[in-house]
Structure 1
Amino acid sequence: MESERFEALIDAILAIVITITVLEIPLASTGSWESLFGLKYEFIIYAISFLVCFNFWNINNNIFALVNKVDSKVIWTMGITLLIFSLLPYLTTFVAENFYEFFPQFVYGLSFIITGILSKLISKFLKDSDPANIALQLALENSYVVVNTIILVAIGMIIGYFAYPPAILISCLISIVVPWIAGAVKH
């Protein structure tokens, strides 16, 4: 299968996820700063969830720009990944309403880890489906960002369990921002 239609599907699903996520932010009960400040956790987790979606789109956009064809393994693994991603609006609200609780933070972080594992599988399947595509093979050669994300979020989960549950959310954010900064410094 050619990859253009598949890319369009990914883009559409991510746009829907972002739209639903922003629609889940409650309105301030009054027109005051205090009322708006009362929604700080909703805005913080929304901003992080938006970055998660944007980061996922950016990575996939860059990778799929090199992809010539996809097979059923890529399609189904990406479908499962998008299923996990479609839970993001719910997880965003779950964390916002229970910001200092471990379990909502844990489930949010777990979605990062599952997405990371599935991304590793997708990379393998993409390489296998188009072995003659040298540019794709080279682009998917290093997966340190995915491995670092999994390790960082796991560390955040340990800290979150024993000391400070928002450490999980912080580790998710750091796992997105650090590769951007490293990429900017590198270029």
Structure 2
Amino acid sequence: MNKSRLEAFSDGVLAIIITIMVLELRVPEGSSWEALRDVAPTFLTYLLSFVYVGIYWNNHHHMLQLASKVDGRVLWANLHLLFWLSLLPFTTSWMDESGFDPVPTAVYGIDLLLAAVAYFLLQRALISQQGSDGPLASALGRDWKGKLSPILYLVGIAAAFWVPYVAVGVFVVAALIWLVPDRRVERFVAEHGTSGR
């Protein structure tokens, strides 16, 4: 079946996730710089989660450039990814409102880990549909970022029970790794076209 409905639905869900997160931002109580400083942790947690949603949106878009069609397995794998991403407003808010207590910070990391696993499963579903010599598998290559991220999330989850701010630092590092532009798909499309054949 055509991939356009999956792309449109995914874009809509990700837009709603961002909207829900921004609604959690509260107006400062007062009009001074100190009042703004008081809401800085909430803004920074929102910024981190916004960046993660943006990373997934960007990579999802690039990945689907190399898909010509989708099947039921891909649709369910995509819904699985959207489920974990849809929990980001909740886990972000809980981590922030708790003052970065260990359990909410660990749960935030677990959400990031499960979203990464779901993204990997979506990749595998698309690769399975195309074959191991298909365009997506060829473009991804060894995918060191995809292999490193879950390790970082596990380190962050463990660190949450030791020093939660270290855990948040690890989550920031994982996001920064993905912020560096990943040109594998773009390079593949430029060389082979979207079909890869």
Q: Could you say whether these structures have the same fold, taking a TM-score greater than 0.5 normalized by the shorter chain as the test?
A: yes
Which sections of structure 1, spanning at least 5 residues, go unmatched?
none
Q: Is the 8 A contact 2:156 2:166 kept in 1?
A: yes
1:90 alignment partner in structure 2: 90
Q: State the Cα RMSD in Å.
A: 1.9
Q: Pairwise mapping of residues 8-47 of structure 1 onto structure 2 (< 5 A)? A: 8-47=8-47
- For 1:170, give the aligned amino acid: G
- For 1:151, give the aligned amino acid: I
Aligned sequence identity (%)? 27
Q: Pairwise mapping of residues 1-187 of structure 1 onto structure 2 (< 5 A)? A: 1-131=1-131, 134-162=134-162, 164-181=163-180, 183=182
Which sections of structure 2, spanning at least 5 residues, go unmatched?
188-197
Report the Cα offset of residue 141 of structure 1.
Answer: 3.6
SS of alignment partner, residue 136 of structure 1: helix
- For 1:147, give the aligned amino acid: K
Q: Is the 8 A contact 1:116 1:147 kept in 2?
A: no
2:193 alignment partner in structure 1: none
* Partner Cα separation in structure 1 for residue 132 and residue 103 of structure 2: 45
* Partner Cα separation in structure 1 for residue 137 and residue 148 of structure 2: 20
Q: Is the 8 A contact 2:116 2:149 kept in 1?
A: yes
Report the Cα offset of residue 125 of structure 1.
Answer: 0.7
TM-score normalised according to structure 1 size: 0.91
Any idea what the Cα deviations from partners look like across 1:67-102, whole Å, max 9, x if unmatched? 111111111111021111111111111111113300
SS of alignment partner, residue 27 of structure 1: coil
Report the Cα offset of residue 132 of structure 1.
Answer: 8.4
Q: Is the 8 A contact 1:68 1:130 kept in 2?
A: no
Q: Is the 8 A contact 2:81 2:122 kept in 1?
A: no
- For 1:175, give the aligned amino acid: A
* Partner Cα separation in structure 1 for residue 136 and residue 87 of structure 2: 29
Report the Cα offset of residue 117 of structure 1.
Answer: 1.2
* Partner Cα separation in structure 1 for residue 147 and residue 136 of structure 2: 19
- For 2:177, give the aligned amino acid: V
TM-score normalised according to structure 2 size: 0.86
Q: Hey, which bits of structure 1, 4+ residues long, moved more than 3 A?
A: 179-184
SS of alignment partner, residue 63 of structure 2: helix
- For 2:172, give the aligned amino acid: L
